[in-house]
Amino acid sequence: MNQVNWKKIMRPVPFLLPFLIAYLLFTIYPIFKGMQMSFYNWTLIEQQEFVGLDQYTALFTDPNFWEAFRNTALFVLLSTPSMVILALGLALLANVNTKLKTLFRSAYFVPSILSVSVISFVAIFMAQPYTGVINNTIQLFGIDAEPFWLAEPSLAWVLIIGVTLWWTVGFNMILFLTALQDIPDDLYEAAEVDGATRMDMFWSITLPQLVPIGKVILLLQVLASFKVFAQILLITGGGPGTTTRPIIQYIYEMGFERYDLGYAAAMSYVLFMLLLVLSIIQLRFGGRGGRMI
């Protein structure tokens, strides 16, 4: 019977220990601490009395919570399909074998490396009612209008979603582009010999081969859209009024402006459970045998 070489097994432990300590301290501990906070009336200064599930039951009668949840759900429903379709279209364009393909790929991806403060400032600058680029461009097409993009809820949503698409589509495009380049050329050559057109090859070869990565992108995008916060806070502040305030912003306001950390923690765990359920559904039904890909 072979003896266990503990010296060899323990050799990498000193190298892994710093990461493990940091992970436990800054990830695992806050998770359980936040769960504890959700059962107490908790301020920035001290822990107060135990309230059990009162923080969670209060959510069902809080109109501000449901309004923020509806705003978040609206953003998810509008941005997620647009993001996936646009990313796929840009990946197909970036995959065309031309001399400018490197320029196209860089131009599509560069916005995703910008900080949220930069893209928010650009959005506000472009959406100015009289001097903004958007309104000036509209007038070039003969449309005599000066829409106030940040004053109308519907226009504010259009601006937020448009900026988010421009800012984040590059990452999803890269994922689609990588999957496109992994498709064997033999499949296209065989289809061309059989007389298939480019459209036939797209529907019969390209699109089925992109389904696995498409499921991954869809899941990641739904999770990211539910966590939308920074660009809305910086562009509209959740306004006009509270018509664009997402649930993360409401949690932030309750925790760090009204100092009700217990209630904010309860909302955070409700959101966590919702995202967990959505992830399980996607993993369960997104692929054969419960696998995503």
Q: What is the pTM for the complete model shown?
A: 0.86
Assign residue 284 the CATH number of its domain.
Answer: 1.10.3720.10
The answer to whether position 165 is within a domain reads yes
The answer to whether position 178 is within a domain reads yes
The SS3 assignment for 48 reads strand
- Residues 202-225 have a mean pLDDT of 90
For residue 3, what pLDDT is reported? 63
The answer to whether position 33 is within a domain reads no
The answer to whether position 30 is within a domain reads no
Question: Which of 156, 116, 119, 145 is CA-nearest to residue 244?
Answer: 156
The two structure tokens encoding residue 83: 């993001």
Q: What is the pLDDT of residues 176-192, one digit of tens each?
A: 999 998 888 888 888 88
- Rounded CA-CA distance 196/106 in Å is 32
The answer to whether position 32 is within a domain reads no
**pLDDT confidence bin for 289, thresholds 50/70/90:** very low
For residue 2, what pLDDT is reported? 58
Q: What is the pLDDT of residues 52-92, one digit of tens each?
A: 888 899 888 899 999 999 999 999 999 999 999 999 999 98
Distances (CA, A) of 127 to 90, 114, 116, 133, 272: 25, 19, 16, 7, 34
Number of domains within the chain:
1
| 196 contact partners, CB below 8 Å, separation of at least 6 | 204
Domain with 271 in it = 54-290
